[in-house]
Amino acid sequence: MLVSHSRDVAAATAALARALVGTGDPAPVATAGGLPDGSVGTSAELVRQAVRTADEGAGVVAVCDMGSAVLTVKALLAESGISDAGVRIADAPFVEGAVAAVVTASAGGDLAAVLAAADDARTYRKI
């Protein structure tokens, strides 16, 4: 699940992650981007919907862009419905974490492996 302040950023990041899976079917990627009216922000209801979309019984890794996206997911984890889905927040950069999570999930990784792959994206060096 990708939680961003922007609907466009969330959708584009999801499309990139799916494209980089390569062959086979990509794992489900749900997005919660922006507010319901399309403006910039974070929406608890869109996050709830994304959890329902992404949850296939094995847990959901949330990759958040920053600030209130993280706070919104953390607040929802205190509620019984979202915490029952096994949602875990990745401590990862948004794009790199999303790609790592989707590729790992698509290869059959379990919740722990997907979370670890997303978290490892924090250490990717570019030089």
DSSP per-residue string spanning 50-89: HHHHH-SSS-EEEEE-SHHHHHHHHHHHTSHHHHTTTEEE
pLDDT at 55: 86
Please state the pTM of the whole predicted model: 0.92
pLDDT at 92: 96
pLDDT at 85: 65
Kindly give the parts of the chain with pLDDT less than 50: none
pLDDT at 81: 63
pLDDT at 83: 65
pLDDT at 58: 87
Residue 111 CB partners (closer than 8 Å, separation 6+):
58, 59, 61, 86, 88
pLDDT at 24: 83
- Distance between CA 112 and CA 33 in Å, rounded? 24
